[in-house]
Amino acid sequence: MSAQSQSQPSSNPGPMRVLVVDDEPLARRGLRLRLAKHADVVVVAEAGNGISALEAVNREQPDLMFLDVQMPGLDGFGTLEKLPLGQAPITIFVTAYDQYAVQAFEARALDYLLKPVEDDRLEQALERARARFRERTAEVHCERLLGLLADWSGNSDLSLEDALEEEIKPPAAEQTLTVKDGHKVLRIPHGEIRWIDAAGDYLCIHAGGETLVVRGTMKDMEARLDSQRFPRVHRSTLVAAERVRELRPHLNGEYFLVLDCGQVLKLSRSYREQLALFSV
């Protein structure tokens, strides 16, 4: 097959296609009206119970699902569990009860909203959904491009992970950190990273309101990132300099760094020269 006969995959992800699941019709209508204010969001279906939600996911293939927890019959967690691996949309739980929060995040939900949902919390959740949606779209786009490349070169064994091993990397202009999460490959925009800390043989990457745990060393991560933008402030901590909002002197030449999210990190005196990188 020639290159000319193939169409280019589009890099424009288009609007997020949304499924609203709640057993209360008024709650569904209220959320739908609020989502209608966002030009990049389109509600493609509603469901009043878990079974209907599964049918809607199979039929509509939504990108994002607002899912109520307590519903008659199959509840929100049961609904999510029945979706095949890889078919589940980005999920935001919506409920009147806060005791399910831990369980929601264990189910890999993106966010957890309490009813009545406040406008600013809905906007925050949508921003996180947009970021995740862009990541998923970029991953699919990359896989399609590699598929075209395999067709052109006759190398049908080329995979996304093979490409990473061969150091086929995104252009520097994209400014992303590429990591493996199990069998998935994720690209985290540098602008979303707040800080990275070490935990034994693993690294915790705090970005976009989430924490991603990957295997690796601080030395390796430090080598992959711009030291001016992500200085090391402790033997086990890298921080995004642009996220630091306050410096608080501590004992023996140490400082506390306060990030824009409220997180407080320690800058040890061994890395005191890094102070010049924080424009606060």
Fold of 172-277: OB fold (Dihydrolipoamide Acetyltransferase, E2P) (2.40.50)
Identity of the highest mean pLDDT range in 50-59, 104-113, 246-255, 266-275: 50-59
Residues 6+ apart with CB under 8 A from 242: 229
CB neighbour burial string for 162-189, b if at least 16 within 10 angstroms, e if fewer: ebeeeeeeeeeeeebbebeeeeebbbbb
Assessment of whether the complete model's pTM goes beyond 0.75: no
Mean pLDDT of the chain: 81
- pLDDT at residue 167 above 60? no
Give SS3 for 15: coil
84: pLDDT confidence band, cut at 50, 70 and 90? confident
Q: Which CATH number fits domain 1-168: 3.20.20.140, 3.40.50.2020, 3.40.50.2300, 2.30.250.10?
A: 3.40.50.2300
What are the domain boundaries of the chain?
1-168, 172-277
What is the tens place of the pLDDT at every residue in 62-81?
999 999 999 988 999 999 88
Better-scored residue on pLDDT, 240 or 107? 240
